Amino acid sequence: MFYKKQVIKDLLLIGGGHSHIKVIKSFGMNPIPGVRLTLINPDMYSLYSGMLPGIISGHYSFDDAHIDLIKLTSYSNCRFIKGKVIGIQSDNNRVIIEGRPPLTYDLLSINSGSSSNYKEIEDIDSIAIPVKPINSFLSQWKYIKSKINNSKKDRNIAVIGGGAGGVEIITAMRHSLGEKNNLTLITKENKILSGFPKKTINYFEDHLKKNSIELIKNIEVIKITKGKVISKKEEEFLFDDIFLVAQTAGPQWLKESNLDLNDEGFLLVNNKLQSLTKENIFGSGDIIKFDKYNLKKAGVYAVRQGDTLNKNIRNFFKKRNLNKYKPQKNFLSIITMGGKNAVVSKYSLSFKGKWVWHWKNYIDKNFISKFTNLSLIEMKSDEKIPKIFHTEEVKKLNDDMRCGGCGAKAAKEILNSALDGLNIKKRNDVVIGLDNPDDASIIKTPKGKLSTISLDFFPPMISDPYLFGKITAHHCLSDLYAMGAEPQSAMAIACLPLWPEHKISEELKSMLLGSIEIFNEENTQLVGGHTSEANECIYGFSVTGLIDKDEILAKSKLKKGDILVLTKAIGTGTILAANMRAKAKGLWVDKAIESMLISNKKSVEIIKKYGGTACTDITGFGLIGHLLEMLEKNQLTANINLENIPILDGADETISKKIISTLQDKNEKFSRYIKNCSKFNKSPNYKLLFDPQTAGGMLAGIPKDHVEDCLNDLTKNNYINARKIGTVEEQTKVKEKICIIK
């Protein structure tokens, strides 16, 4: 899925704002062949800001008001990079991301929203909670509300900011908290809702009074410290919790770029949403400021800008004239009142009622549904790269007469670029490696040690090459750990798609950086590798390790009476399959990735510490397939407690919808070795016993007397899903090796 299309140009999107989600969905329905989309966002979900008061009030759940960016990007074959942007190097078309490799672009678009701006407040205590970024605010509000619910004492809560945002938030808080607790709205103006019709202002001033929300006007806050709000006139107000709905500004990383910005740090753009500095950088939403006219920060503009942005991105790639964005001069403003009541305003007109809230609710839910109710669109296999992209290099890449043999290796320039600057940790027992490359690597085997060798490789299962590189390294090392060995060296295997040199070298480097980060942590030295051209990316490693003969954790050493312990939850196969079909929730995918990124090293140390007799890692053949490998050479059977099997969030739901990995059907043939499979084969948990795992956990036999101590130790060391899942018994005359129990 992720690497089966040729990449000629890169469109990089910073931020999952309202404009960008329109662009992403549009490219899913109508892609430009050769253009790869990548979204960088710190969170997997994007809140529809118009529904924020409804979340506070309790009218909407998290899922009701958020767009799942994992689902959306999967639907559109768009890479998703979960990360925080910390810089733009516009002179060499690079975006710097915290804690991971930078990404290059041919066209960059910024729709990341704004940050709170406190330049008028001289000193701000950490007690003050800004409403932006919104996700952080919601977490803090949830925490404060839990404290309120667990306390009999009323709290004094203030919201600073008398605009529409401040009014909506404090009325939503009142609805959520009920009549208890003291709420205060503070504004520096002589009225709230400046710029709105007088009737709208009157509606809300009456509403604040009826709901016991104190309104304090003409207070210019200059300091917030230890719960005190101090005004310019040296008035002091004491609160337990203070929320700031302040003016906004651009993020620091944008201020540190060489792009033209206004005084508040917003990106200056022309009426085509194009940066005044760089023609291949666009922006939309709260992050921009037009050079010719002034617009309020309002979600309606970001939504409407999405259509113009989408057209201009396409026009830019196709070298056509760009469209002008024409903002509407007037638009309806709907301000909610906490409960299911709202006020609608336009010009000098204002109307209030439940019907206004229900109208807004319909508009908001309809918008959300466009980006959440997705059915996967298969892209055409006969797509042709636009002629405008046909450089000499691209023409050669699409030559049907590509060579085999060593003529299919990646060019030296690609390798040099990918290997340049890699921080490879060195071991004393590596004689010849990548620091002084030769025709082969040379590695010492210490006296009394045995060498272990394993090999694994596969296509990417996620779109982020850096995380894929990490997961691949963990997966490949697991076979060594399962044997009880200490990893020593790794040799890379990389089949690379036919992309321009600078594209494929960056991709290879990202994968290698991810892998080397893991290898360095696991004291494993990358000593070489091999590349080849291919129709899609395939990546992996041959790894070697060292072990004492007496410490081998062979599968065949399982003993009667052992307790079977599984160290990680299962379900990566079905969740990853669902992700490829845009059917997996972002949270499920994130938890699956989190599990795959947990090293098996410490778990095996613990297994050995408590007298583990045998061990194997759970990978492609699923839990049952690998358990059978432990049982098949012994006169042993296993009783498996189905209810004790740890399962990743969402895996039972996806597999019950028959979303399965490619290998699942073949793995299910192992059912013939299960004594009572007919009793359980309709259960989702039963189906997950055959789910192929990537970078799965360890399955080990632990002596009965040590199993509780072993599990406690595993849990303390981050293997929070470790469970005892069954027992090993002596085999009877029946051919079945496994019995399921509840």
Active-site residue set: 406
| Residue 425: other Cβ atoms inside 10 A | 14
Amino acid at 737: K
Bridge partners of 231, per DSSP, are: 221
DSSP 436: S
What is the distance, to the nearest Å, from the Cα of residue 283 to the centroid of all Cα atoms in its chain? 23
Quote the CA–CA distance of 201 and 218 in Å, as a whole number: 16
Q: Which amino acid is at 111?
A: N
* Backbone torsion region of residue 691, taken as left when φ is above 0, otherwise alpha when ψ lies between -120 and 50, otherwise beta: beta
Residue 129 in 3-state DSSP?
Answer: strand
Residue in the structure block whose two tokens are 């009323």: 154
Among residues 373, 333, 524, 452, the alpha carbon closest in space to that of 67 is found at: 373
* 178 CA to centre of own chain: 36
Among all chains, which residue has been given the structure tokens 């296999």?
381
Q: Is 738 helix (H, G, I), strand (E, B) or coil?
A: strand
Residue 456 is encoded by which pair of tokens?
A: 């694994």
What is the chain's length? 742
| Whole-angstrom Cα Rg for the chain | 29
Q: Does residue 576 contact residue 692 with C-beta atoms inside 8 Å?
A: no
DSSP per position, 565-586: EE-S-B-HHHHHHHHHTT-S-H
Q: How many angstroms separate the CA atoms of 74 and 89, rounded?
A: 28
Structure tokens at 17: 């704002």
Query: In the structure encoding, which two tokens stand for residue 704, read together?
Result: 């009965």
Distance CA(243)–CA(144), nearest Å, equals: 11
Q: Bridge partners of 104?
A: 94
Whole-number Å distance between alpha carbons of 336 and 50:
10
Cross-strand pairs, 702: 563
Q: What is the spatial distance between Cα 697 and Cα 599, in angstroms, rounded to a whole number?
A: 9
3-class secondary-structure state, position 41: strand
Q: Are 173 and 52 in contact (CB under 8 A)?
A: no
Q: Residue 211 has what DSSP assignment?
A: T
CB 78 within 8 A of CB 22: no
For residue 455, the one-letter residue type is L
Can you tell me the distance from the alpha carbon of 88 to that of 85, in angstroms, rounded to the nearest whole number?
8
Task: Give Cβ neighbours of residue 46 (< 8 Å, ≥ 6 apart).
Answer: 16, 17, 21, 66, 67, 69
Give the residue among 261, 303, 263 at the shortest CA–CA distance from 285: 303
Phi, psi for residue 571 in degrees, rounded to 5? 130, 5
Half-sphere exposure of 351 (CA within 13 A, CB side): 8
- Closest by CA to 477, choosing from 529, 520, 430, is 520
Q: Which residues of 554-572 are buried (b: 16+ CB within 10 A; e: fewer)?
A: ebebbeeebbbbbbbbbbb
Say if CB 19 and CB 284 are below 8 A apart.
Answer: yes
3-state DSSP: the chain helix, strand, coil percent, rounded to 5? Answer: 35, 25, 40
Nearest CA-CA partner of 19 in 103, 112, 81: 112
Residue 698's SS3 state is strand
Going by the DSSP 8-state scheme, the letter that residue 378 receives in this structure is: P
